[in-house]
Chain A
C-alpha cells in the first residue's frame, strides 16, 4: 500500500497544477496517472489561454463574457472566482518559464478570440497546451513530487454510508500497467480526480484515445452527482478521417466554407448572414450538418474549408501548424486544395459536480479540469477558457485538499442542493451491470443484486477504518480483474464501437426525442453485451486489452448520462439543440441537470443555477448570432 497526504489522479494541466499547489502547502503528494504526464491531452491544445492582464481589461469583463457565453447556465461564484484568479495563475506559469509568444516590449502577446470583448487570449504559437503541460511538468520534477506513471486508477475507496454526503474518500486503487500489480493508494487528506475529457464516448472526436471519462464514471458510481452532462461542445472544423482539430484560427484569418455545389453556404443559405464562417461553434456545426443532410455535403459527409486565397506567405506565417495537420492526417496540401472538415465532439462542459474549492459532496474527494463541472462553461465554453480553468481550479483543489482554509463555498453540492425532482421516462431502464459470473460487480461497489458490497463491512454504516475501506476495495478490484482475465467472452472493442456509433448517430449536434430514445436502447443493449465482456490477452505485462475493457465500462456510464440529460432538457440552450424545442426557455430551464447513481439506477434531479455571487449579479439576455 502506498501512502501520501494527497493523491492526484491524472497528470494533465489540472492534475499537475493541483499537485504543485498541494506541495506548496507542505503536503506529501503523489500523482497517479495512466499516461506519462507529458503524454496527457492538455498537450494538444492549440489556441490559447485567457486572462485579463492588461490596462483596459479587467476580471469583471472576462467574467461577463464567460457568463454570456455559457448561455446563463454557469454559476456566478465559479465564474467570478475563475476570472479573478486567472491573471495571477497565467503570470505564474510565465514565471515558471512558459515560452509564451511575445510583444515588441517583451511582454506576453494576447490575441482576440471568439466571444471575448477584449483581446485577452495569451498563447505560445499554436502549441499553447504543449508548452503549458511541459512547463508544469518541469515544476513537478523540480519539486521532486512523486509520479506513478502508467498506473491506471480503477476505483475509489469510499466509505459505505447510505447518504453520499456522509461518505468519505480514503484513497484509490490502481493497476500498474507494466506489471499487472493492483495496489492501494491511501490518501490521508484527499484524492483529486483530474482525469480529463470523455470524448471517446463518440466515434468522431478531437480527444485523445485516453479520454474515456474514467474520473466521471468513478465519482458517479461512488455517489457524486454528474452535472449538465448533456452539454457537449462540438467543434465545426475537424478532419473527417481522424477528428484532428483544425483551429478556429483558420476561419479567424478568413478561411471560407463551401458545400459540394461550391456555395459559400453560411451566407448563401442564410445560417449567419452577419458573421458567416465566424459565427459561434454551435451555429457553424449545425449549418455544416444541415448541408450534409440536404445532400449538399461532399461525399455525403463533409464540407470544404478553403484557405488558399489567403496566400502562401500569410498561411506560413500564421497557420503553419494547420498545413502540417492537413498534410499528415488527411494527405491534403492546404496551399493547393481545400481541406475537408466536419463537426466533431470536442469538449465536455458537464462533469463531476464540485464547488469552487474543487470539493465534491463526498468529503476528501475533489475534482478539477475537464472531468469536473464547477459550472464555469454552462451550456457553451468559450475558446481559451479551459486552460485557465485547469490552473485556477486545479490550484484551488490542491490547496484545499492539502488543508488550506478556503472559506465556505458558495456553491452547494450533493443532494442537499436539490431544488426539484427530475422527470424523464427512458424507453428502457438504464442500470447496473453484472459480470459474466454474476458474482463480482464489473466495477464500482455494487454486487449483482445492486447492493453496495462494501456495506458488508459495516451494515450499520458506522465509521470504518480508512485502511479497511481501502483494503476491501483493493481486494474487490483484484477479483474483478482476475475475473476479466479468466473469463471467456466478447471483445470490448465491439461494445465500444457500438456505443461510439450510436452516440455520434443520435446524440450529436442535432438531437430529438426519438433518436435519443434509440440511443438509450442501444446503450442498454451495449450494457447487456458488456456483461459478457472478457479480456483475450492473458498477460500480466502491459495488458492494454484489460485497460481498454475497464475504460469501456466507463464510456458506457458517461454515454448514458449524456443521453439521459439530453432527453430531459426540453429546450434549446447553447450547444444543446432539440428538434422539438427551438427556444431557450429561461423560466423553466435555468437549472442544472443532475444525475445521481442510486444503487445502479440513475436518478435525475435539478439544482438552481447561481446567477449571483458575492461580487455580482447577472441578468440573462438573448444570445444573437
Chain B
C-alpha cells in the first residue's frame, strides 16, 4: 500500500511545484493535446453554427487553478442554436458537449429538485435548469458562479460552508413521544403541516446564502437556509417544548436570527418560493417570547 500512496504523492508534488517555464514531458504532451483538441473543437463549432438559424450567446466565467492559461479568471463566449423551451442549463450542456468538454458545472435532475445548478445568471441567483432563455430578454447571457462562495473551477463553487451551516442547526427530527406500536404513526394536525410546508421545500441550492449581504460580511452567520431549516423543526408540533427551546437557543446565538436585517434578497431569489425572511422574523418573535417567559 505505502508504495502506491507514495507514488501518488510524488506525482502530486511534482505537479504542484513544477515551474511553468520548465516543461516536463507530460506537460508538453498535455499542451500538444490541448492544441489538437482545440483545433478539432473549432472545426466542430464552425460546422454546427453554419446551419443553425436563431442563436444566443453565452458569456461564461472560466477558471481552473490547475491548468495553464486558465488560472486567471476570464469569460468565454459560446454561440448556441436556440429553440423554444430551451433553458440556460440546456445551453450550457450544448456548449460543453459541442465546443469545450472541459466546461465545468454541476447539474443532475434538470427539473429544479436537486439544487445543484444554482448560478449567477445575468446578475441574479437562479437555477440554470429552471431558467428559460426566452424569459431572460437579452441577446447575451452572462453566467457566473454563485457570488460570495469560493470557486473550485469554472461554475463550481465550494459548498462545504453552506453544508456546515445547515448542520449547525441540528437538522434532524426529534419526536417528543413516539406511539408504542411501531405500526402506528404520530398524529400531526393538517394546519401544522401547512405551517411548515413551505419550509420543507428547500433543495439546498445555496442561492439565498449567496444573495445575502449579511452572510457575505459575516462568515459565521447561519444564513437563511439554515435558519429556515431550524424553523421547519421548531414549528413542527410533533417535537416537544423542550426541544423547541433548544432549537431557539441555537438560532438566537450571536450569529443567528438577530443578524438578519430583513433585506428580502434571500426570499427574492429562492427558486422554491420559500418565504425565508418571514420565517426568520417569526423565529425572532418566538425567541423574544421565549426570553420573556424564561429569563
Report which A residues bind B (CB closer than 8 A): 1, 35-36, 38-41, 43-44, 53, 87-88, 91-92, 94-97, 99-108, 125, 127, 129-131, 134-135, 138-139, 141-142, 178, 181-182, 208-210, 241-245, 324-325, 328-331, 467, 471, 474-475, 478, 486, 488, 491-493, 497, 535-545, 548
Contacts and interface: CB of A to CB of B under 8 A. Distances in A.
A88 B179 CA distance: 13
11 contacts: A38-B115, A39-B115, A95-B178, A130-B203, A134-B200, A210-B108, A497-B97, A536-B37, A536-B100, A541-B65, A542-B156
A142 B111 contact: no
Contact of B185 (A43, A91, A493): A91
Interface in B84-113: 84-87, 90, 96-98, 100-102, 104-113
A106 B178 contact: no
A331 B153 contact: no
B171 A141 contact: yes
Contact of A91 (B33, B109, B184): B184
Given A97-B238, A331-B85, A242 B110 contact: yes
Tell me which of B97, B111, B163, B178 has the highest count of chain A C-beta atoms within 10 A of its own C-beta.
Answer: B111
A97 B236 contact: yes
A208 B108 contact: yes
Interface in B58-100: 64-67, 83-87, 90, 96-98, 100
A88 B183 contact: yes
A545 B185 contact: no
A106 B187 contact: yes
Q: Is the interface of B mostly helix, strand, loop or mixed?
A: loop
Tell me which of A91, A243, A474 has the highest count of chain B C-beta atoms within 10 A of its own C-beta.
Answer: A91
Given A106-B187, A138-B172, A536-B102, A486 B182 contact: no
B186 A94 contact: yes
Considering the complex of A and B, which 6 residue pairs feature the smallest CB-CB distances, nearest first?
A97-B173, A106-B187, A537-B102, A142-B172, A493-B97, A138-B172
Contacts of A209: 107-110
Contact of B190 (A41, A91, A102, A537): A102
Contact of B110 (A92, A134, A208): A208
B152 interface: yes
Nearest to A242: B110
Interface in B4-37: 4, 8, 15, 26, 29-30, 33-34, 36-37
Contacts of B200: 99, 131, 134
Contact of A330 (B85, B113, B154, B183): B85
A208 B106 CA distance: 12
A35 B108 contact: yes
Contacts of A471: 1, 4
Contacts of A245: 111
A540 B15 contact: yes
A41 B109 contact: yes
Given A95-B175, A486-B26, 9 more contacts: A35-B116, A44-B114, A94-B185, A96-B173, A241-B90, A242-B111, A493-B97, A538-B33, A542-B153
Given A178-B152, A536-B102, A39 B108 contact: yes
B193 A99 contact: yes
Nearest to B171: A138
Contact of A536 (B101, B172, B175): B101
A328 B108 contact: no
Interface in B126-146: 129-130, 132, 134
B188 interface: yes
B285 interface: no
Contacts of B163: 36
A43 B114 contact: yes
A35 B173 contact: no
Contact of B203 (A38, A96, A107, A324): A38
Contact of A537 (B86, B101, B175): B101
Nearest to B175: A95
A474 B84 contact: no
Given A91-B184, A97-B236, A488 B201 contact: no
Contact of A329 (B85, B96, B193): B85
Given A209-B108, A493-B97, A38 B204 contact: yes
Nearest to A103: B190
A340 to B, nearest CB: 9
A99 B64 contact: no
A100 B189 CA distance: 11
Nearest to B84: A331
Contact of B182 (A88, A106, A537): A88
A328 B67 CA distance: 36
A105 B187 contact: yes
A172 to B, nearest CB: 16
A491 B153 contact: no
B173 to A, nearest CB: 3
B114 A1 contact: no
A478 B3 CA distance: 13
Nearest to A496: B97
B254 interface: no
B46 to A, nearest CB: 16
Contacts of A474: 4
Given A181-B8, A478-B8, A106 B114 contact: no
Contacts of B83: 241
B276 interface: no
B17 to A, nearest CB: 14
B186 to A, nearest CB: 6
A548 B106 CA distance: 12
A545 B111 contact: no
Contact of B104 (A39, A491, A544): A544
A548 B104 CA distance: 11
Tell me which of A39, A178, A486 has the highest count of chain B C-beta atoms within 10 A of its own C-beta.
Answer: A39
B203 A542 contact: no
Nearest to B159: A36
Contacts of A243: 110
Contacts of B187: 105-107
A196 B107 CA distance: 16
B159 to A, nearest CB: 7
A91 B180 CA distance: 12
B152 A538 contact: no
B171 to A, nearest CB: 6
B240 to A, nearest CB: 13
B172 A539 contact: no
A543 B244 CA distance: 43
A542 B66 CA distance: 10
A43 B159 contact: no
A479 B141 CA distance: 40
Tell me which of A44, A127, A536 has the highest count of chain B C-beta atoms within 10 A of its own C-beta.
Answer: A536
Contacts of B104: 537, 542-545
B152 to A, nearest CB: 5
Contact of A108 (B87, B156, B185): B185
B111 A329 contact: yes
Nearest to B189: A106
Contact of A95 (B4, B130, B185): B185
A146 B197 CA distance: 29
B54 to A, nearest CB: 15
B167 interface: yes
Given A39-B115, A467-B1, A538 B34 contact: yes
B182 to A, nearest CB: 6
A152 to B, nearest CB: 13
Tell me which of A40, A538, A545 has the highest count of chain B C-beta atoms within 10 A of its own C-beta.
Answer: A538
A138 B102 contact: no
A101 B189 CA distance: 10
B111 A44 contact: yes
Nearest to A97: B173
